[in-house]
Amino acid sequence: MKRNIMLTLRYDGTDYHGWQMQENAITVQEVLTSAAERILSQKVTINGCSRTDSGVHANMFCCNFRTDSDTSSAVLLRGLNALLPDDVAVYDVKDTDMDFHARFDCKGKEYIYKIWNSKCKNPFLRDYALHYPYKLDAEKMNLQAKDFIGTHDFNAFCAAGSTVTDTVRTVHDCSVRRDGDLVTVSVKGDGFLYNMVRIMVGTLLYINSGKIEENSIPDIIKSRDRLRAGITAKAHGLYLNEVYY
């Protein structure tokens, strides 16, 4: 293999069972691999930067694969977008170092979670933001979110049954902002556990509603007890927003 190609894409995860290829469900990795193999006329193994869950979206997703094809980046870009379904789009193709790996060389990620905070649902956001019809104090949530910042053992914010043994992660920033009826939670970190961001959002929502006391996030983190944290917010509000190398 004489080339290592990096792809940057965005996708609507509504109709996919996440990124990772599965035997009995359609995934983003599957449709992307199929399109690449048709263009290159050879088998490829595509390495993704993350494993997004069913229904989760990506504004930026990076992956790479090795090939001995001479197909130019420009031709590959046009060909992929011609073959891919309308809910997946590649917007950058480039040759990179042979030892580059989209997952292992990733230095950090930003996730955002969108909440439509209105008594009336928005049909145009039904698959793209959580509808939360109750009063939501974004300023209070933003203050509480700061307690996530730092290097902590986030076991309390990891889905039960996860096989990960090292649950220490560093959150560089966590904020909540409102733009009209749309409230967005942003989390930047060096890496994330399974369902970590969705549980963080669920915890902030529980604090907002009084189901969890204010200023209790540090104690929840120290407890390492998943039952102390909030619900796992629904997947369709979550986006992988940016990937850092």
DSSP string for residues in 163-223: --S--EEEEEEEEEEEETTEEEEEEEES---TTHHHHHHHHHHHHHHTSS-TT-HHHHHHH
Sign of the CA dihedral with 137 first, then 139, 144, and 149 last: positive
Q: What is the amino acid identity at position 230?
A: G
Residue with tokens 């990733």: 106
Q: Is 190 a catalytic residue?
A: no
Residues 218/223/228/232 CA torsion (nearest 10 deg)? 80
Average confidence (pLDDT) over 177-206: 97
Split at pLDDT 50, 70, 90, the class of 1 is confident
In angstroms, what CA-CA distances link 116 with 100, 112, 136?
Answer: 38, 13, 10
Mean pLDDT over the full length of the chain: 97
Question: How far apart are alpha carbons 2 and 168 in whole angstroms?
Answer: 37
Domains parsed from the chain with CATH numbers: 3-96 (3.30.70.580), 108-244 (3.30.70.660)
Q: What is the pLDDT of residues 118-171, one digit of tens each?
A: 999 999 999 999 999 999 999 999 999 999 999 999 999 999 878 888 999 999
Q: Percent of the chain at pLDDT above 70? A: 100
Whole-model pTM? Answer: 0.96
Which pLDDT score, from 0 to 100, does residue 160 have? 84
Question: How far apart are alpha carbons 138 and 234 in whole angstroms?
Answer: 19
Residue with tokens 């590649």: 90
Q: What is the pLDDT of residues 57-79, one digit of tens each?
A: 999 999 999 999 999 999 999 99
Q: Which of 15, 53, 153, 190 is catalytic?
A: 53
Q: What is the pLDDT of residues 27-49, one digit of tens each?
A: 999 999 999 999 999 999 999 99
Contact between residue 116 and residue 99 where contact means Cβ atoms under 8 Å apart: no
> In 10 A of CB 92, how many CB atoms?
12
Which pLDDT score, from 0 to 100, does residue 161 have? 77
